[in-house]
Amino acid sequence: MGGMALGKDYATQECSIARALEIVGERWTLLVVRDALYGVRRYNDFLVHLGIPRAVLAARLQALTAEGILEKRRYQQSPPRDEYVVTDRGAALWPTLRALGRWGREHLGEEQLRVFRHVSCGTELGSYGECPHCATVVPVADVLMEPGPGLDPEPADPVSRALLTPRRLLQPLETPSA
């Protein structure tokens, strides 16, 4: 199938976690998926927001597309331009990212950088992305993201600035790009 070059797979492991990490466990990969869930779709937006080397970004986008986590789609013909959109399989990584982010905040002693709420009731999400109030798993598209108290209110790059306004996950990001 895709890459799976030497040393990239956990050969001896008979484990779903290991299989998952073979796909999304490389450096930068989960941050690309995170940005995609936040609504980032364009090569240049990933680039400036992540501060990732261009070659690595190209490799990750290709690998994620090959694995069906992102989908490459042409959004304009006349200078041919492509964007990368999360698929259902990619959106299904939300609970993992939510759990990881929550662990990071609770155990690395940070201020809250982003707040995630159930859009229909306003309740803040639990560790796995569930709504404690409604006692249901919140679909990714119904998650509202707001800036938390610890987040820089005047970030340098336009993508970070666009991500300051409260927005639903998956909602495509509009970049001023000027």
Partner DNA sequence: ACCATTGATTCGTTCATTGAACCTATGAGG
Partner DNA sequence: CCTCATAGGTTCAATGAACGAATCAATGGT
Q: Can you give the binding site for DNA, defined by CB under 7 A?
A: 3, 5-8, 26-28, 42-44, 51-56, 58-59, 61, 78-83, 177-178
Q: By CB under 8 A, is residue 107 in contact with a copy of itself? A: yes
In angstroms, give the least distance from the CB of 119 to DNA.
28
Q: How many C-beta neighbours within 10 Å does residue 102 have?
A: 16
Q: Please report whether residue 121 would count as binding a copy of itself according to CB under 8 A.
A: no
How many whole angstroms separate alpha carbon 65 and alpha carbon 87?
A: 9
Q: Does 13 bind a copy of itself (CB under 8 A)?
A: yes
Q: Are residues 175 and 159 in contact, defined by beta-carbon separation less than 8 angstroms?
A: yes
CA–CA dist 4, 35 (Å, integer): 23
User: Shortest Cβ distance from residue 27 to DNA (Å)?
Assistant: 4
The least distance separating DNA from the CB of residue 178, rounded to whole angstroms, comes to 7
Q: From CA 163, how far away is CA 57, in angstroms rounded?
A: 20
Nearest CB to a copy of itself, comparing residues 20 and 58:
20
Residues 6+ positions from 1 with CB-CB distance below 8 Å: 66
Instruction: Note the residues at the interface with a copy of itself (CB under 8 A).
Output: 10-21, 23, 25, 27, 30-31, 34, 50-51, 89, 92-93, 95-108, 110, 113-114, 126-130, 135, 137, 151-152, 155, 160
